[in-house]
Amino acid sequence: MNQSYRFRRFTMQPDHAGELIHRAQCVSCAQMGPQAATGDAAMMWVVFHLEDHPSHVRYRELLSRPYRVVPRGEGA
């Protein structure tokens, strides 16, 4: 995704030097697992959460994308 957001004095754009952050979240109790570099690693937390809470069977994968602010006219 290369979406950027333009404001009057700056532009917000994806920071390609930053890393995506993945997390798993339980839909039942909203508890979140630790940050991970991949979706597969993030979803490993589900195994442990499910052992403690057998009725919590629905989860979300959360993906966090880093952005940076660039003053207008400077470019990327």
Q: Which residues contact Zn ion by CB under 5 A?
A: 26, 28-29, 53, 56
- The DSSP symbol for 42 reads H
Question: What does DSSP say about strands 59-64 and 21-26: parallel, antiparallel, or unpaired?
Answer: antiparallel
The CA distance from 29 to 43, in Å, is 16
Cβ nearer to Zn ion, comparing 26 with 36: 26
Tokens of residue 42, six digits: 């993030």
Closer to Zn ion by CB, 28 or 35: give it: 28
- Residue (20 or 27) nearer to Zn ion, CB: 27
User: Minimal distance in Å, beta carbon 75 to Zn ion?
Assistant: 45
- Min dist. Cβ of residue 49 to Zn ion (A): 6
Q: Which two tokens stand for residue 59?
A: 């989860």
